[in-house]
Amino acid sequence: MIHILIPFDFSQRALEALEFATKLSFKYDSLQLTLLHVVEYPLNVSVGTLGGGIDPLTDYQHQVYFKELTALRKVELDKLKKHYLSQNFQLNTRIEIGVVFREISQVIEELQPDLIVMGSSGAAGWEEIWIGSTTEKVVRTAPCPVLTIKGATDPRQIKKIIFASNFIGITKEVAARIKSMQHLFDAKFHFVYVNTPGEFKSTREVSTQISNFMEEFHFENLPYEIYNSLTEEAGILEFASDIGADLIAMTTQGRTGFLHLLTGSIAEDVVNHSNRPIWTLKTPEADRK
């Protein structure tokens, strides 16, 4: 059974992610979906002069507002469950109370889903630099693939996928997941390496890297492109636009904390700025900080 987790906030993007996930049943005979909604407690919790205050997890949870809101969300989730009642998949719903990203992370650790599907409208400016969206944080830390939906998308219409990489140090597990995705969508793959002025490599060197990768993991007769651009993020988005890609696939380094603020993540930037669905997977090497 394939288990898909769908973090859900009742937004239009979340509904599009749910719709996308249900339509994956065309490929899977046994599909389980978990729709997770987090009721977030206020961050501006009052603190007393001696350092005490209200603990939202113990006090706010039992206040009338949160009881009513939780009950309302449960009714709404039950309606969705009835609406998507199907013999092709099983849809479960779940409500947690707390900080959104923390609760999602705990559920991921508990359920260990095969795939996370979530919607995102992106962030910009100061918010992008200092806060980052929940989607970006999940992309950075989730141990399983994350499929970020940016609009209404039918998985049966995904026929052209680009996989952007430097094609060095990719593990057998990552290569297997890429092949699994290729089979899932029955799509044509295009490999792309983005050459930038700051890390320029010759065509011969890059071609050798890609050829070695395809030979090692038995990818046959797949087109690849060495694409020149000012930045890797821009190059990936430009190439996807040039060939009319339906989905972008890439790995993420998963850096956290101060190192993440200094270096950022190409995958997170692409997730934030692309108008196409993005498939991402944190690499094992990413656990080093």
Contact status, residue 273 vs residue 122, Cβ threshold 8 Å: yes
Gap between the Cα atoms of 100 and 221, Å rounded: 43
- Please give the CATH superfamily to which domain 1-112 belongs: HUPs (3.40.50.620)
Residue 50 is predicted with a pLDDT of: 46
Within its chain, how far is the Cα of 281 from the centroid? 8
Residue the block writes with tokens 């490599």: 201
Contact status, residue 140 vs residue 260, Cβ threshold 8 Å: yes
Domain ranges of the chain: 1-112, 120-289
Contact status, residue 271 vs residue 148, Cβ threshold 8 Å: yes
Gap between the Cα atoms of 253 and 57, Å rounded: 32
What does the mean pLDDT of the chain come to?
A: 84
pLDDT in tens, 223-264: 999 999 999 999 999 999 999 999 999 988 644 443 333 334
pLDDT band at 268, cuts 50/70/90? confident
Gap between the Cα atoms of 252 and 266, Å rounded: 7
Domain at 120-289: CATH code: 3.40.50.12370
Contact status, residue 18 vs residue 6, Cβ threshold 8 Å: yes
Contact status, residue 112 vs residue 142, Cβ threshold 8 Å: no
Residue 13 is predicted with a pLDDT of: 92
pLDDT in tens, 34-84: 999 998 876 554 444 444 555 555 555 556 777 888 899 999 999 999 999
Gap between the Cα atoms of 22 and 1, Å rounded: 14
CA distances 195 to 199, 207, 234, Å, are 7, 12, 11
Please, which residues have CB within 8 angstroms of residue 146's CB and are 6 or more apart in sequence?
115, 116, 117, 118, 135, 138, 139, 279, 280, 281
The two tokens of residue 272 are 């934030």
pLDDT in tens, 143-159: 999 999 999 999 999 99
Is pLDDT of 137 > 90?
A: no
